Amino acid sequence: MSKTNDEKNITFMPDLAHVFPLPVRAVPEPWEDLASLLSRTAEQMGYKYVQWLLRPEDGAYGRRDLDVCFLLQDKTYQYLGHLLQLSEEALYKLTLHRFLLQMLAPVEMQATPSGYRERPLFPLLGSAMRKLFPSQLAARVCPRCLAEEPPCGVLYWNFGPVFSCLKHHIFLVDCCPHCQGKIPRLRSVLTHCPRCSSGDYRLAPAVNLPEQPLFLSSQAMILGHLGVEEEYLGGVPTVYGESPLHGLLSWQYFLLLKSFLNVLGPFFPNHPVLRTVAGPFIPSGRRISSTLPVSLAEWASFMLTFHTLFASWPDNFIVLLESLPAVCSSTSANAGPQHQFGKLYKEYLYKHLRDPAFAFLREAFEDYLMKHYTRGWVSPRLRPFSGKDRMEISTELTYLTLTKAMQLLGVGEPRLLALINRGVIRAHRSPIGAKGKISLWLIEKADVEALFEEWKNLLSLEAIALVHLGVSKQQVLALSKAGLLLPTSGPSIDRNLGWYYKSDEIERFKSALLQYACKAVTSASKYIPLSTSAKSIELPLIEILKEILSGHLGIFDTQREIPLFQRLVLSVSEVKRFLAERRKVERSDLNLLSARDVMETLGVGEATLRKWVRQGVLVGKRQVVNNRIQGILFQKEVVDAFRCTYVFAKEAAELLDVTSSAIYRYASIGILHPIGATKLKLFLREEVKALIPPHKLSIRQAAVLLEMSVSNLYALVEEGHIPMYDLLNVQKRNGCSIQM
């Protein structure tokens, strides 16, 4: 046992046989502290200094003032008990040790000590519990209480978290209104400042308590737990609203309070997590580099914050958890709950607060880690999950690591990152390490699972090519490239190595194509499947589909349960029609005519056309169009020029208004000169036209003009009324022209 101030003073304890009880003694008031009783006794004895009571005349004892409210030594108790004629119990009740019974956990209860002292004492100075007693020597007072008779100090005013007098509804005062000096606990006159001699504590300005129910009830609750009777609570209820604090026993409440004094310590003096109240002014410069509440205002802030944490549980506690890493991060740059929640994690949740009464804290903490924690990886190595296996944790977790997500989806990192970039998977990234070069990824588990489910229903390129469409993989890719079939996953989409399609998409494509198909299929031999039609149609499959979808090519549905492009067929005749149509369009685009077109236009047979080409009368050439040889083709201009240059016998006859045989006769006698050696005679249009003399009409034309019949006209001609010009100088009915 180390030496304490108290013990040092007791070393020279006088022999009780030579100590006489004081002749005039004060009777302790309820909740009065020993320092106050000593002061009042000294005053009644007429002592100038209260210390005289503790310093017998030999002066050997008490070089320093005793922390009389924290007496530890049996001998001191015996001495003071004898001097003041108080029982051990009465004396004990005047000390702060009285609160220990409210704070001791059942397991900490020790057997009643033998000897004089029967009740437990707080352990040595400096113990964690003593943090609740901020000062050993300074007192706090209620100016109004002190003004009442008899003026006395109250034991619980020395308890840090009690900073108000509920009876008078004001904050306690901890300094002299005159010199601002601290109030010594052991002072000769209770109402006056021994430092300046003129300061009267009763005149200190009273600061009213704020009317916040939670704030007021926090004071009532702590007094209640200290064992203070209701009559001292000023009518303030000890509970307010819903809070897990309400279910705690006194020792549990104090254990929690003491723990959070350390948890909230790093937030002092002015982190936003702390709740503040309008209260006593915090003197500047009073704060040393302590992380614990020092002033009355800070104690008020601590108590309100502490009680707020448990109000609307666990929302405010989660706010604290969110804020802790920032104030604890200076201790370690590492991520992970073990580094980011400081003492709350390391010392309290699973150690000092392991009692089942605090399970609500652990539950809220674990729930937070699982669902909302975004700063580090949560694993079974962590204390909160030590009882659970990896599987259990991963089913409860909200987040996955990069590695875990890759495992689940069976993908590599580039692909996972591509999925994150595309927003398919939500992820949180936080830099870790001192330089922040390394990132910690936390990936939304729900997204990964949803994607996994979706992928289960995806079809591979192979499956679509082989089973669904019955074409090659390249053809499926060509369909995708043309936008006819949209993949869900692939190299250019999410860096997947393969291509994958939703089955819905395949169904959509199928039904879209089937809409264009006619169902009446007669004889199978006259059809070719769409899958092999590319060769016949001389077009890639994708172009064939475009022709089908634009209505230029008709298809049939065999309605067989086979891959789509084998089920759909083209009729041979439709293919031929389509090809002919297509080539015509191609030629007309180039102003070319096929031999067939030319034969149709000119009304000649193939043999005649061949001869003309051979003789050079009509120029035709073998031509390649769209990489296909299309036989002999003729420029449209050439054909048009041919029609202008040449006339057939029949046309010549019409031009001259004679019979065809007359034309042949003209040719045989050299009036007209047929071109080419074909059966079908061709004549130069110019030569034929030249035969018609200027200002001449044919018999027929003259008859129309004169509005008479041809026979009447002939009669007039024969009678010599109308002069006639004979082409052959032969009097022939059919070969005459009328002189105009």
Residues binding Zn ion (CB under 5 A): 142, 144-145, 165, 167-168, 176, 178-179, 181, 193, 195-196, 199
The dihedral sign for the CA sequence 137, 142, 146, 150: negative
For Zn ion, the closer of residues 144 and 346 by Cβ is 144
Of 142 and 248, nearer to Zn ion (C-beta) is 142
Q: How far apart are CA 144 and CA 503, in angstroms?
A: 83
Q: Which is nearer to Zn ion, 142 or 647 (CB)?
A: 142
Q: What does DSSP say about strands 724-726 and 736-739: parallel, antiparallel, or unpaired?
A: antiparallel
Contacts of 42 (CB under 8 A, 6+ apart): 49, 50, 52, 53, 188
Q: Cα–Cα distance between 434 and 507 in angstroms, integer?
A: 53
Residues 93 and 694: their CA atoms lie apart, in Å, by 155
Q: Which residue, 170 or 382, is less far from Zn ion as judged by CB?
A: 170
Nearest to 241 by CA among 308, 146, 144, 153: 308
For 589-627, list the strands marked E by DSSP.
Answer: 592-594, 621-625
Look at the block and give the residue holding tokens 């013990």: 7
Sheet strands (E) in 208-341? none
AA letter at 364: A
**Residue 508 is encoded by which pair of tokens?**
């959509």
Task: Write down the least CB distance from residue 228 to Zn ion, Å.
Answer: 13
Phi, psi of 174 (to 5 degrees): -120, 15
HEC string for 428-494: EEEEECCCCCEEEEEEEHHHHHHHHHHHHCEEEHHHHHHHHHCCCHHHHHHHHHCCCCCCCECHHHH
- Quickly list H helices, 604-672: 606-615, 636-645, 649-656, 660-668
- Nearest to 519, CA basis, from 563, 558, 553: 558
Among 380, 382, 357, 378, smallest CA distance to 368 is for: 378
Residue closer to Zn ion, measured from CB, 193 or 402: 193
Would you list the DSSP string of 665-704?
HHHHTTSS--BSSSSS-EEEHHHHHHTS-TTEEEHHHHHH
Instruction: Report the nearest approach of Zn ion to the CB of residue 216 (Å).
Output: 14
Sign of CA dihedral 528, 532, 538, 542: positive
Instruction: Quickly list DSSP for 90-158.
Output: HHHHTSGGGGHHHH--GGG--PPPSSS--S----STT-GGGGGS--SSEE-B-HHHHTSSSP--BGGGG
Least Å from the CB of residue 140 to Zn ion: 11
CB of 271 to Zn ion, least distance (A): 31
Decide whether 167 or 584 has the Cβ nearer to Zn ion.
Answer: 167
Q: Are 279 and 171 in contact (CB under 8 A)?
A: yes
The SS3 of residue 739 is strand
Q: Closest approach of Cβ 144 to Zn ion, in Å?
A: 4
Which CB sits closer to Zn ion, 224 or 244? Answer: 224
Q: Which is nearer to Zn ion, 179 or 497 (CB)?
A: 179
CB of 209 to Zn ion, least distance (A): 11
Is the distance from CB of 266 to CB of 291 less than 8 angstroms? yes
Comparison of 176 and 321: residue with beta carbon closer to Zn ion:
176
Residue whose CB is less far from Zn ion, 142 or 471 = 142
CB of 143 to Zn ion, least distance (A): 8
Q: Considering the complex, state which of residue 196 and residue 239 has its C-beta at the smaller distance from Zn ion.
A: 196
Whether 496 contacts 415, CB under 8 Å: yes
Nearest approach in angstroms of CB 254 to Zn ion is 23
Kindly tell me which of 140 and 681 has the beta carbon lying closer to Zn ion.
140
Q: How far apart are CA 100 and CA 329, in angstroms?
A: 35
| Residue 179 CB, nearest approach to Zn ion (Å) | 3
**By C-beta, is 33 or 494 nearer to Zn ion?**
33
At closest approach, how far in Å is the CB of 8 from Zn ion?
A: 29
CB of 178 to Zn ion, least distance (A): 4
